[in-house]
Amino acid sequence: MKVYIQKAAELIRNSKAMIAFTGAGVSVESGIPPFRGTNGLWSRYDPQCLDLDFFHSHPKESWTAIKTIFYDFFGNAKFNEAHRVLADFEAKGILKTLVTQNIDNLHQMAGSKNVLEFHGNSQKLICPQCKKMYVPEEINLDVLPPLCVNDGFILKPDFVFFGEGIPEEAYRRSILAARKADVVLIIGTTGEVMPASMIPSEAKRAGATIIEINTEPSNYTNRITDIFLEGKASEILLELEGLIYPEK
């Protein structure tokens, strides 16, 4: 592991176009569980609340679960050291683009700027009719479902529901960044959710070296990963930061 992490630090230090690709695992240490698994969100909530057809046919029921998960719970989460190190890598010019599948806004709260939100962002709401955007603080979530002040349409959280397409711009820019990348840092994702999961493979095909951080092997590990760093995202990223910037 020591040799691996030193090699990874060297690759990151010498990279010219590194991207990061993050998943639910990067936010686990902020207290946000992944969707799947024994303690996952779907062991407590019904995933149908995020199905687009169900949302349209049962807005109040859907919104009741959405409020609990994404505003009462996600809304109070704080970024952790993994988010912070990634934001610092970007500020120092070493990380060019961060593609995230997460919808919790924690990368942005930590200071990351060039974030491509593959699945949108739960901390924004949109009126599907007039496209007016809201932040949760502007909305009275005691009365559900919340309505647009312009036209009375039911507001929708601005993330990708089951049965909904990927935001075009994020998709296009993620593919471009992947094709240009020389190093990809995959962090905390099983790589099971398509089409997001193909971003690292796209980079690998174009010649990038893949460094993966996860507490356990994923779909990528034995397929495209060059260096697997087993452990918690914050611990491994702090160690990498210490090797890349020993003076800090």
- Taking the complex as a whole, how short is the minimal distance between the CB of residue 152 and ligand NAD, in angstroms? 29
Residue type, 49: C
- Is 36 a binding residue for ligand NAD by CB under 6 A? The answer is yes
Query: Could you tell me which residues come within 8 angstroms of residue 35 by beta carbon, excluding any fewer than 6 positions away?
Result: 24, 41, 42, 47
Q: Which CB, 148 or 160, lies closer to ligand NAD?
A: 160
Question: Rule CB under 6 A: is residue 81 a binding residue for ligand NAD?
Answer: no
Shorter beta-carbon distance to ligand NAD: residue 148 or 191: 191
Q: Given candidates 145, 146, 188, 200, which one binds ligand NAD under the rule CB under 6 A?
A: 188
What DSSP designation does 70 have?
Answer: I
Q: Are 122 and 16 in contact (CB under 8 A)?
A: no
Site residues for ligand NAD, window 195-214 (CB under 6 A)? Answer: 213-214
Q: Find the binder of ligand NAD among 88, 104, 117, 241 (CB under 6 A).
A: 104
Contact 49, 66 (CB under 8 A): yes
- State the burial class of residue 1 (Cβ atoms within 10 Å of its Cβ: 0-12, 13-18, 19+): exposed
- The single residue among 137, 142, 168, 216 that binds ligand NAD, judged by CB under 6 A, is 216
Neighbours of 221 (CB within 10 A): 16
CB of 143 to ligand NAD, least distance (A): 26
- Strand intervals (E) in 71-179: 95-100, 115-117, 120-126, 133-134, 156-159
CB 187 within 8 A of CB 200: no
Shorter beta-carbon distance to ligand NAD: residue 148 or 233: 233
What residues are labeled active site?
119
Part of the chain binding ligand NAD (CB under 6 A), chosen from 31-39, 107-115, 132-140, 148-156: 31-39
CA distance 45 to 25: 19
193 contributes a contact to ligand NAD by CB under 6 A: yes
Q: What is the Cα gyration radius of the chain?
A: 19
Closer residue to ligand NAD in complex, CB, 183/237: 237
Q: Which residues bind ligand NAD (CB under 6 A)?
A: 23-25, 27-29, 32, 34-36, 101-104, 119, 188-190, 192-193, 213-216, 218, 232-233
